[in-house]
């Protein structure tokens, strides 16, 4: 009862053409092929060669490549049409620029963390506080953003040292939003040491999310995060519990910074998060800014040691999930979204075009406008490359159309950057003009020498190998892709 | 299982009745309507004025018009059911079973696909009368009729007839929930899709089969070169006009190895679809002669099915499993299983009697004969 034999719908050698594709050898016997929207197929190096030179006769391999829009029959239009739809979907967020607005309400802090990225100031000096007038002008700029969602993040220093302004900005933003109708969210980035009932009431009333720092177990955390009394960890843990009890389990998240002392304690760090019922861990490397660059800043480790740390920590998180403890590694979840969906996670540090300015704007305590938090830190060290103006005299157009923003955005675009343009992981990665400016002296850097490149290549290949080899991890990544 | 067609005896059928499609009604329901067939309760004297009377027992009292004696097989016919009566009155077919959740109207037996496992093999002959009959049924639908499937063959082959039928639906039964089964190829024509959308039916979904994530395998399964390209273009055209689409995947020997890839393809390329239905084989029609080519025992593809369902559901796509007996379905998949086998063709086996989940299970296709999973067993 067959009219059409199977052989008449299969591909003959030399019967296909290559669609835009890039590849990377993962191991001696495994390579990955990616298309322009990040769909990927694992093949053997021999299969890769046979597909490219046209001699492949393995219909199973060819069918997988056709399904992922990596090859097509000459004259077909559907693959390009579907790729275009997917690419458009991925890029959709670009027209809704700048969802994140960071308000540095004070530079003062009662902590003296070893790796602090901003110059600390003694808690008493109020000249490092943002004024209401500065905040009002910053809000006016923020509301000019086309994004239908606005997230206002209070940073410092320790923003709770200037809590009256936090409250004032929240009220003012809500008032202004009555005529804008944007989806408005607030985050306080705090070490929680100053948390009190008044602040908790405020967070409950206004739906504010708390983002805090937790470096891991007590000794590690307190070694990194110094404060009078050496009780930073105790304060953070007590604070996290209070927020969880009062506002709910998911209203507080924590970030960790990896110092050299952390490297041997990956599993212990993960477990300290699990014990607190925190469902997300962000295994971040230290940034090459601020005090971190000093000898005792904790940044004395290279990328390969950090990657070992990352792999160990990720392994522990997977193990916990297998045991029924739901936990997400946030960096992997951001990458999972890029690998497995058409939606860009909009994470400012792993985006191309870069996230500077169009992903986030930073308003410093003195009204200085910066393209990113790292750009502000460079300025504290005397490098004002990423300062886009001051809220007191710059218009929205001045800021967003400034050469100071557009040049680094255009120059660093991964799709056109040397070595990125041909990289199999370009769609998973991002451009980081601030990092490369700080470390290499230009917005692009030399990728063969770039720690950013080395680190991300390491993470991508690790995640892909794990997905290739472990169905459970594949399943976990699918869930993580939906979690961010 | 209900019999939907059966031989009947007649009384008073001196001349053929004028209409062939009737709705059964209780005595008293607007006798004026010429297309109502009065169900005469036992021992009662029927009201005059109906064009046709349906009786369940042979009896002496003269009836005021032509009557049909329904045998035991058709005794289930009740008020609200719509029947087709052969010109001589000797055969009655139920076209609309009012108490059933699923009712379908066959619009044509012609098709431009020739799927290896087609349960309703296409016939290349003029059957345009089916569209006329469907129109009559829709006109007669009882108040409160909720949903109707339009099937084939390929209902879009006669574009004008289908659009006309949909417009008729929109006019006489605007609140009806419609499900159109199509291979989707016709929708590759933007003008046809525009006309379809312009009918403006509020609740209509097209169920379109996609069997593979790439043309090579799909075109082989549907036995038509170029079908995949047209079908996917059709789905995209429908989506661009805001039309609701369901993707139907029949799981058979060739689709099993492609199932995970297909789920990935749908999640990535067609995530907007309203639903994906993963369907067990009905071993009837072409599936019988092609049995060796298409049969796959569900126990042998549970790993693929579990991963496919996980891929689809994590991507936020509503996913249903049809035509699978719970005893051969991985327990994690039970929440997705639907009692999908129409009540006129489902049945339970002897071994099902002691099964603890029998009532939640769709049973088996009576149409599949003996070609069933070798692993059916009662669940304790």
pLDDT per residue over A171-206, tens digit each?
999 999 999 999 999 999 999 999 999 999 999 999
Residue A413 in any domain: the answer is no
Are B175 and B65 in a shared domain?
no
Are A54 and A172 in a shared domain?
no
Name the domain count of chain B.
Answer: 2
Regarding beta strands B346-347 and B319-322, do their DSSP bridges make them parallel or antiparallel, or are they unpaired?
unpaired
Q: Write the residue in B223, B264, B310 that is nearest to A475 by C-beta.
A: B310
With beta carbons under 8 A apart, name residues in chain B contacting A85: 236, 269
Residue B379 in any domain: the answer is no
Question: Chain A residue with minimal CA distance to B254?
Answer: A6
Question: Chain A residue with minimal CA distance to B234?
Answer: A78
Torsion of CA A470, A473, A475, A477, to 10 degrees: -140
Are B173 and B56 in a shared domain?
no
Q: Which two tokens stand for residue A378?
A: 């460079």
Residue A422 in any domain: the answer is no
With beta carbons under 8 A apart, name residues in chain B contacting A81: 233, 236
Are A138 and A59 in a shared domain?
no
With beta carbons under 8 A apart, name residues in chain B contacting A480: none
- Smallest Cα distance from B310 to chain A, Å: 8
Kindly state whether A8 is in contact with chain B, defined as any CB-CB distance less than 8 angstroms: yes
Are A119 and A163 in a shared domain?
yes
Mutate to test the interface with B, among A37, A57, A60, A67 (most CBs of B within 10 A): A67
Are B42 and B130 in a shared domain?
no
Residue B375 in any domain: the answer is no
Are B38 and B145 in a shared domain?
no
Residue A158 in any domain: the answer is yes
Are B215 and B362 in a shared domain?
yes
Say how far apart CA B224 and CA B62 lie, in whole Å.
58
* Residue B35 backbone class (left: φ over 0; alpha: ψ -120 to 50; beta: rest): alpha
Are A51 and A172 in a shared domain?
no
Whether residue B290 and residue A10 make contact (CB cut-off 8 A), yes or no, is no
**Residue-number span of the structural domain to which B52 is assigned:** 5-96
pTM over 0.90: yes
The answer to whether B115 and B219 are in contact (CB under 8 A) is no
Q: Write the residue in A6, A73, A478 that is nearest to B310 by C-beta.
A: A478
With beta carbons under 8 A apart, name residues in chain A contacting B229: 76, 78
**Residue-number span of the structural domain to which A149 is assigned:** 96-390
Are A42 and A186 in a shared domain?
no
Whether residue A63 and residue B219 make contact (CB cut-off 8 A), yes or no, is no
Are B87 and B168 in a shared domain?
no
Kindly state whether B295 is in contact with chain A, defined as any CB-CB distance less than 8 angstroms: no
Residue B374 in any domain: the answer is no
The answer to whether B60 and B43 are in contact (CB under 8 A) is no
Q: Which two tokens stand for residue A364?
A: 């410093």
Q: What is the DSSP letter of A108?
A: B
Are B187 and B310 in a shared domain?
yes
Of B96, B126, B143, the residue that ends a domain is B96
Are A278 and A212 in a shared domain?
yes
Question: Chain A residue with minimal CA distance to B303?
Answer: A471
Of A91, A120, A153, the residue that ends a domain is A91
Are A58 and A158 in a shared domain?
no
Are B249 and B310 in a shared domain?
yes
- Smallest Cα distance from A49 to chain B, Å: 22
Name the domain count of chain A.
Answer: 2
With beta carbons under 8 A apart, name residues in chain B contacting A62: 216
Of A347, A371, A390, the residue that ends a domain is A390
Residue A447 in any domain: the answer is no
Regarding beta strands B204-209 and B244-250, do their DSSP bridges make them parallel or antiparallel, or are they unpaired?
parallel
**DSSP three-state, residue B285:** helix
Residues contacting residue A393 through CB under 8 Å, at least 6 positions apart: none
Of B77, B96, B115, the residue that ends a domain is B96
Residue B210 is part of a domain; what is its CATH number?
Answer: 3.20.20.70
Query: How many other β-carbons are positioned within 10 Å of the β-carbon of residue A119?
Result: 14
B-facing residues of A in 273-302 (CB < 8 A) are none
**DSSP three-state, residue A13:** coil
Nearest alpha-carbon partner for A399 in A412, A390, A411, A407: A390
Whether residue B116 and residue A1 make contact (CB cut-off 8 A), yes or no, is yes
Chain A and chain B share a number of CB contacts under 8 A equal to 78
* Residue A277 backbone class (left: φ over 0; alpha: ψ -120 to 50; beta: rest): left
Residue A423 in any domain: the answer is no
Are A213 and A236 in a shared domain?
yes
Q: Which two tokens stand for residue B234?
A: 């059709």
* CA A367 from centre of chain: 25
Of B96, B130, B153, the residue that ends a domain is B96
Nearest alpha-carbon partner for B125 in B106, B113, B111, B104: B111
Residue A438 in any domain: the answer is no
pLDDT tens sequence for chain B (380 residues): 678 888 888 877 765 555 689 999 988 787 666 788 999 887 777 788 888 889 887 765 677 888 888 888 898 999 999 999 988 888 899 999 999 888 999 999 999 999 999 998 999 999 999 999 999 999 999 988 999 999 999 999 999 999 999 999 999 999 999 999 999 999 999 999 999 999 999 999 999 999 999 999 999 999 999 999 999 999 999 999 999 999 999 999 999 999 999 999 999 999 999 999 999 999 999 999 999 999 999 999 999 999 999 999 999 999 999 999 999 999 999 999 998 777 667 788 888 889 999 888 888 888 877 788 989 999 98
Whether residue B316 and residue A482 make contact (CB cut-off 8 A), yes or no, is yes
Are A154 and A44 in a shared domain?
no
| Segment (H or E) for A241 | helix A232-247
Question: Chain B residue with minimal CA distance to A11?
Answer: B216
Are A186 and A45 in a shared domain?
no
Are B311 and B342 in a shared domain?
yes
Question: Chain B residue with minimal CA distance to A340?
Answer: B268
Are A216 and A306 in a shared domain?
yes
Are A208 and A79 in a shared domain?
no
Question: Chain A residue with minimal CA distance to B306?
Answer: A475
The ipTM, to two decimals, is 0.93
Kindly state whether A81 is in contact with chain B, defined as any CB-CB distance less than 8 angstroms: yes
Question: What's the pLDDT tens digit per position in B8-58?
Answer: 888 777 655 556 899 999 887 876 667 889 998 877 777 888 888 898 877
Residue A460 in any domain: the answer is no
Q: Write the residue in B214, B233, B311 that is nearest to A67 by C-beta.
A: B214
User: Can the peptide bond before residue A157 be classed as cis, meaning omega within 30 degrees of 0?
Assistant: yes
Residue B377 in any domain: the answer is no
Kindly state whether B256 is in contact with chain A, defined as any CB-CB distance less than 8 angstroms: no
With beta carbons under 8 A apart, name residues in chain B contacting A78: 229, 232-233
Residue A296 is part of a domain; what is its CATH number?
Answer: 3.20.20.70
């Amino acid at each position: 009862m067959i009219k059409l034999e199977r052989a008449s719908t299969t591909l003959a050698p030399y019967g296909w053409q290559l669609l835009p594709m890039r590849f990377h050898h993962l191991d001696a016997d495994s390579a990955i092929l990616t298309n322009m929207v990040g769909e990927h197929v694992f093949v053997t190096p021999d299969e890769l060669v046979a597909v490219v030179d046209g001699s492949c006769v393995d219909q199973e391999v060819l069918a997988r490549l056709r399904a992922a829009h990596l090859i097509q029959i000459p004259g077909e239009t559907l693959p390009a049409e579907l790729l275009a739809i997917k690419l458009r979907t991925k890029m959709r967020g670009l027209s809704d620029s700048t969802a994140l607005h960071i308000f540095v309400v004070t530079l003062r802090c009662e902590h003296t963390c070893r790796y602090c990225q901003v110059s600390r100031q003694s808690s008493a000096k109020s000249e490092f506080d943002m004024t209401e007038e500065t905040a009002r002008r910053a809000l006016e700029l923020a509301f000019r953003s086309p994004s239908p969602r606005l997230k206002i993040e209070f940073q410092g220093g320790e923003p709770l040292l200037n809590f009256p302004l936090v409250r004032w900005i929240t009220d003012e933003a809500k008032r202004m939003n009555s005529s804008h109708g944007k989806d408005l969210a607030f985050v306080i980035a705090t070490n929680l040491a100053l948390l009190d009932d008044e602040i908790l009431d405020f967070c409950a009333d206004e739906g504010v999310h708390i983002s805090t720092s937790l470096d891991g177990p007590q000794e590690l955390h307190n070694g990194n995060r110094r404060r009078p009394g050496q009780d930073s960890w105790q304060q953070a843990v007590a604070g996290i519990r209070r927020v969880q009890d009062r506002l709910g389990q998911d209203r507080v998240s924590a970030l960790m910074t990896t110092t050299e002392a952390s490297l041997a304690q990956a599993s212990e760090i993960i477990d300290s998060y699990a014990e607190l019922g925190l469902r997300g861990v962000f295994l971040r490397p230290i940034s090459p800014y601020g005090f971190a660059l000093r000898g005792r800043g904790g940044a004395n480790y290279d990328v390969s040691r950090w990657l070992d740390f990352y792999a160990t920590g990720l392994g522990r998180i997977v193990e916990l999930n297998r045991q029924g403890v739901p936990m997400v590694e946030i960096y992997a979840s951001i990458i999972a979204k890029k690998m497995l969906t058409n939606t860009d996670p909009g994470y400012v540090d792993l985006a191309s075009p870069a996230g500077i300015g169009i992903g986030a704007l930073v308003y410093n305590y003195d009204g200085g406008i910066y393209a990113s938090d790292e750009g502000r830190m460079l300025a504290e060290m005397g490098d004002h490359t990423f300062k886009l103006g001051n809220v007191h005299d710059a218009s929205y157009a001045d800021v967003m159309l400034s050469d100071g923003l557009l040049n680094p955005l255009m120059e660093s675009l991964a799709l056109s950057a040397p070595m990125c343009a041909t990289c199999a992981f370009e769609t998973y990665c991002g451009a980081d003009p601030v990092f490369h400016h700080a470390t290499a002296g230009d917005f692009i850097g030399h990728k063969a020498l770039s720690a950013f490149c080395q680190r991300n290549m390491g993470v991508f290949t690790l995640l892909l190998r794990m997905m290739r080899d472990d169905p459970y991890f594949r399943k976990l990544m699918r869930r993580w892709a939906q979690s961010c | 299982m209900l019999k939907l067609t059966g031989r009947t005896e007649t009384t008073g059928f001196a001349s053929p009745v004028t209409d062939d499609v009737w709705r059964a009604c209780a005595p008293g329901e607007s006798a004026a309507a010429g297309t109502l067939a009065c169900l005469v309760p036992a021992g009662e004297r029927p009201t005059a004025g109906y064009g046709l009377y349906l009786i369940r027992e042979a009896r002496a009292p003269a009836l005021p018009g032509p009557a049909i004696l329904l045998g035991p097989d058709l005794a289930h016919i009740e008020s609200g059911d719509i029947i087709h009566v052969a010109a001589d009155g000797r055969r009655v077919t139920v076209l609309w079973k009012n108490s059933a959740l699923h009712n379908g109207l066959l619009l044509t037996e012609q098709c431009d696909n020739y799927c290896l496992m087609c349960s309703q093999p296409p016939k290349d002959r003029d059957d345009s009368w089916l569209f006329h009959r469907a129109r009559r049924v829709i006109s007669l639908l009882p108040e409160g009729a909720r949903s109707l499937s339009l099937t084939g063959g390929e209902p879009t082959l006669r574009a004008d007839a289908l659009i006309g039928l949909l417009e008729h639906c929109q006019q006489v039964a605007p609140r009806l929930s419609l499900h159109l089964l199509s291979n989707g190829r016709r929708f590759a024509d933007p003008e046809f899709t525009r006309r379809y959308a312009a009918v403006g039916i509020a609740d209509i979904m097209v169920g379109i089969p996609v069997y593979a994530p790439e043309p090579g395998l799909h075109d082989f399964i549907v036995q038509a070169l170029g079908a995949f390209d047209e079908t996917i273009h059709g789905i995209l055209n429908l989506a661009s006009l805001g039309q609701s689409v369901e993707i139907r995947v029949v799981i058979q020997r060739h689709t099993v190895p492609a199932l995970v890839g297909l789920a990935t393809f749908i999640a990535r390329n067609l995530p907007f679809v309203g639903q994906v239905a993963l369907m067990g084989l009905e071993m009837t029609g072409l599936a019988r002669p092609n049995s060796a080519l298409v049969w796959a025992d569900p126990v042998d593809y549970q790993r693929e099915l579990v991963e496919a369902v996980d891929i689809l559901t994590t991507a936020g796509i509503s996913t249903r499993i049809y035509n699978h007996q719970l005893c051969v379905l991985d327990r994690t998949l039970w929440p997705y299983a639907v009692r999908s086998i129409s009540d006129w063709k489902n049945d339970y086996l002897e071994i099902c009697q002691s099964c603890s989940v029998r009532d939640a299970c769709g049973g088996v296709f009576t149409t599949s004969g003996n070609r069933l999973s070798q692993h059916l067993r009662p669940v304790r």
